[in-house]
Structure 1
């Protein structure tokens, strides 16, 4: 079974987006080229597929196809599976993208059963929350940025019960960012 990895930036107080859940305004993220390059190598070693919701696909497509560097190379080469209830949503604007229309949770369950590398989810907030609630997440790769937002959208909001996690790795970068890996 392919593992599902949630990878995202969070603030020290656990928010991955502002109060309205808008991921397009991620000005709290501390840029760290070393961390991004290290993460790209980790992705390349274990994962070959990105899973995103419709809006995150559009947000990523606005940046990554023309970006440079290790992370851009991996993202652009990876298969991008776009979860959408709209069966007519056109994903051909970004090479290596496929539409998974219908019930997103069922699409991810089926995808986990196929052959291949790990699946990586980058967002958005609602997509990640639904995957967590359905017990589909196997690992969390959290980039903890040295900032407290005070309010915002957390991927762990509204969980019905506690979820124990096991810390696998942690690395501190000169920017103050912590890269942590937890397994379920």
Structure 2
């Protein structure tokens, strides 16, 4: 069975963006050391135009062959004229408002998201599924998430978009597998779900 990994950036206090979902303040920490880590360890998480700009457009996908994102995350690409921001992956967008897909590489999920994710997880394949965001779909898929890769940036937001939105109170246990600290203050923590 393939695993679903929530690979996400957040502030120290657990927000993935400001109240409107903007996380651009975190871009300040994309220095040479951290970008080197991302491009060598998680190259598939770099959007296709960034891969071209960095000269890694042919980099092998190491962890994921599929990406799922919410309408808000996908809209960032649409606003920049990108209908397939991760063309090197199979792309799915969870949205009840987008309508028809604007790109043949993008599948719009407008129905039962949990059921569709379970179908994806049951497929054969050695690579996993990347949950890119956002908050609401992470909350909806919490029970399906097998792994967390949390890039924590040294900022406190105070309020904003939480990592898991709309879940109410419930406890889900994960085991820490690794921590990587960078000189710019960023931490990357990897957790596996305790089943």
Matching residue of 1:181: 190
| 1:16 matched to 2:25 | no
- The number of aligned residues is 170
Deviates more, 1:42-51 or 1:83-92: 83-92
Q: 1:156 to 1:124 in 2, by over 3 A?
A: closer
Could you list the structure 1 runs, at least 4 aligned residues long, displaced by more than 6 angstroms after superposition.
none
Contact 1:91–1:99 under 8 Å retained in 2:
no
Q: 1:63 to 1:86 in 2, by over 3 A?
A: closer
| 1:32 matched to 2:43 | no
2:130 to 111, 116, 120: 120
| 1:89 matched to 2:88 | no
Deviation at residue 47 of structure 1 after TM alignment: 0.9
Deviates more, 1:36-45 or 1:109-118: 36-45
1:107 to 116, 120, 124: 116
1:58 to 75, 78, 101: 75
Query: Which whole-Å CA distance do the structure 1 matches of 2:81 and 2:34 have between them?
Result: 17
Matching residue of 1:41: 40
Q: 1:6 to 1:100 in 2, by over 3 A?
A: same
Query: Which whole-Å CA distance do the structure 1 matches of 2:154 and 2:16 have between them?
Result: 13
Query: Which whole-Å CA distance do the structure 2 matches of 1:28 and 1:166 have between them?
Result: 29
RMSD of the alignment, in Å? Answer: 2.4
Deviation at residue 64 of structure 1 after TM alignment: 9.3
User: Cα deviations across residues 108-135 of structure 1 (Å, max 9, x unaligned)?
Assistant: 1111111232000111111111111xx1
User: Cα deviations across residues 15-56 of structure 1 (Å, max 9, x unaligned)?
Assistant: 1121x3x23x21331223432342343332121110112221
Q: Secondary structure at the match of 2:16?
A: coil
TM-score, scaled to structure 1: 0.80
1:167 to 144, 153, 176: 176
User: Cα deviations across residues 142-179 of structure 1 (Å, max 9, x unaligned)?
Assistant: 11001111112212454432222111111111211011
Deviates more, 1:95-104 or 1:49-58: 95-104
The within-5 A match list for 1:143-154 is 143-154=151-162
Contact 1:6–1:128 under 8 Å retained in 2:
yes
Matching residue of 1:4: 4
Query: Which whole-Å CA distance do the structure 1 matches of 2:112 and 2:98 have between them?
Result: 11
